[in-house]
Amino acid sequence: MANSSSDVTNSGDPKLDALIARINGLSGKPAPAAAPRNTPPAAPSPSAPPARPAARTPAARPAPPAAPAAAVRGVPAPPSSAPAANAPGANTRVANSQAANTQAAPAQAAPPVPAASVGENVPLPLGFQPTRDEPWRPVEPVSLEDNQISDSLLEQIIMRFVLNNGESEGRRIADQVKLPFRMVEPILTRLKMEQQVAYRSATATGDYVYVLTETGRAAARNHVQDCTYYGACPVRLPEYIASVKYQTIEGQRPQKKDLERAFSDLLINPRMLDRLGPAVNSGRGMFLFGFPGNGKTSIAERVTAAFGKYIWIPRAVDIDGDIMRVFDPMNHELDMPQGDSGLLDQGGYDKRWVRIRRPTLVAGGELTMEMLEVQGNPESGISEAPLQLKSNCGTLLIDDFGRQKMSVDQLLNRWIVPLEKRYDFLNMSSGKKIQVPFDQLVIFSTNLEPKDLVDDAFLRRIPYKIEVSNPAESDFRKLFEIMCKVLKIPYAAEPIDYLIATHYLPVKRPFRNCQPRDLLLQVRNYCLYHGLEVELKNEYFDFAVDNYFSVM
């Protein structure tokens, strides 16, 4: 079988070749054509470890190839000097099926991904096809060198994790840092040789249970004093910047059918949809203003649904040793892809990233200047990404604009350049200043007149100012019919006619989109309190109007 492995690996079927090479990589066997390791790790002392069920040798690592000229900075390019089946672990994914067919060909660069997806020379996982809903997916890392992952940073994270857990299997450590075990095992072997970790026991799967030695515990405590982070290995900042470019909201260009789908659960005037369409299509900022209760917030919250469904964001970003969390379970909706598991999983991706639904972040009167800056925790040594960075490739809604704790001028001065240039500068707690993308649809929703809030210089940078006007009487009646179905109240037209003729037209009370729901809730609660059948009656509306409009 060993003699035929090379023939099988180059069978001509790219998927079969990649699968066999992946099995070899996961089992610790080097690829058939890989160059021998220059300096093999020294074997552990025979007296130290218990008997290991199966010997394991880390896969050989060839010298990293030169990146193609067109490669995007921060994203590893596919190797161009050797077939992919001979790469270590064979986890390098090619851009598309056409690129996969060139694996057995002599030294040629992989064909670029079509420009309609994410651009040229962008590596993608094997078998993944970019779509509008998911334009990009991170490639599973190949090695620490090729992916420019800091050995020292990864070592610190591993030691902090083992210190916190007491003991852990090697594969559990790899799962914690979200890297393939073949990339973590050499570090564990080195820590064992340096007597910073020891083997507690062996497992039936050929793994070890690792514990810290006294020397290792002292080193781990020193690492904890600098930073307490022991989660997924952070992604480098250039990789995150490149990922925003691939998934930018400006490249989506939603059309009328996309907006109609996004607003399918709202009764919205066609003229309003025609005004919203170009603003959403541009991916730039907009003002929504008008009287309270007409659905400005509801409109803004549904805009994101007109864009593609998913984006990938890193769990954390490494900025020259500073760790900044990006994934926020409070604001991001996790939606990981479903796929095969184990050796037959050909859809490998970088587990340091998570797939989420395009984010919609809402900030109201609680918004402060601190929320727009990197928030460093001096106790943990971990920084939290600001609000606008968490909303990249999505929508950021500033609700009740003009009622924030900070002055309007402070917010405008902070964002006047990012809104125009589409990038922002952030100050890290260590003193570093970094440039990051400002790539989201910013929506300002206010009950006040925009020209009374801001000056012309700021209004120029918000190209679309859309008034959400009061509904017409026909739309107002239609809202009662819709909300009766939602609240499970039998609809009757006569009480609605009575309400409008008695409590609206004579006193010239304006219609608002929120009033049908609010008045029907008052009617329902009145009936439930008195033990009556929930239905629409004139006297019930009299009671609801007296309560609802008593101080309005």
**pLDDT class of 326 with cuts at 50, 70, 90:** very high
Residue 48 amino acid letter: A
- The residue behind tokens 């959400």 is 468
The per-residue pLDDT for range 176-185, each reduced to its tens digit, is 999 999 999 9
Beta strand pairing status for 316-319 and 322-325?
A: antiparallel
How many whole angstroms separate alpha carbon 436 and alpha carbon 389? 8
Annotate 329-372 with DSSP letters as a single string.
TTT--B-PPP---GGG------TTEEEEEPPEEEE-TT--GGGG
- Rg for the chain, CA atoms, rounded: 29
Is the CB of residue 381 less than 8 Å from the CB of residue 228? yes
Comparing CA positions, the residue from 313, 302, 294, 331 lying closest to residue 515 is: 294
Comparing CA positions, the residue from 281, 423, 337 lying closest to residue 133 is: 337
How many whole angstroms separate alpha carbon 150 and alpha carbon 236? 9
Residue 115 confidence (pLDDT):
35
**pLDDT class of 25 with cuts at 50, 70, 90:** low
Residue 518 in 3-state DSSP?
A: helix
Residue 121 confidence (pLDDT):
77
Residue 317 in 3-state DSSP?
A: strand
Which domains can be identified in the chain, with CATH numbers?
Answer: 150-232 (1.10.10.10), 249-336+348-467 (3.40.50.300), 473-549 (no CATH)
Residue 5 confidence (pLDDT):
42
Q: What percent of the chain has pLDDT over 90?
A: 63
The per-residue pLDDT for range 117-171, each reduced to its tens digit, is 455 678 899 889 999 999 999 999 999 999 999 999 999 999 999 999 999 999 9
Mean residue pLDDT across the chain? 82
Whether the pLDDT of residue 529 is over 90: the answer is yes
Is 278 or 27 the better-scoring residue by pLDDT? 278
The per-residue pLDDT for range 410-468, each reduced to its tens digit, is 888 899 889 889 999 999 988 999 999 999 999 999 988 888 888 888 888 888 999 99
How many whole angstroms separate alpha carbon 216 and alpha carbon 151? 16
Residue 266 confidence (pLDDT):
87
The per-residue pLDDT for range 468-513, each reduced to its tens digit, is 999 999 999 999 999 999 999 999 999 999 999 999 999 999 999 9
Residue 529 in 3-state DSSP?
A: helix
Comparing CA positions, the residue from 531, 529, 516 lying closest to residue 545 is: 516
Q: What is the DSSP letter of 373?
A: S
- The residue behind tokens 């490998």 is 348
Buried b (16+ CB within 10 A) or exposed e, 141-152: bbbbebbebbee
Q: How many CB atoms are located within 10 Å of the residue 53 CB?
A: 12
- The residue behind tokens 């968490």 is 390
pTM across the whole model: 0.76
How many whole angstroms separate alpha carbon 78 and alpha carbon 76? 7
- Which of the residue ranges 44-58, 145-159, 234-248, 492-506 would you say has the lowest mean pLDDT? 44-58
Comparing CA positions, the residue from 327, 350, 325 lying closest to residue 337 is: 350
Q: What is the DSSP letter of 120?
A: T
Is 71 or 323 the better-scoring residue by pLDDT? 323
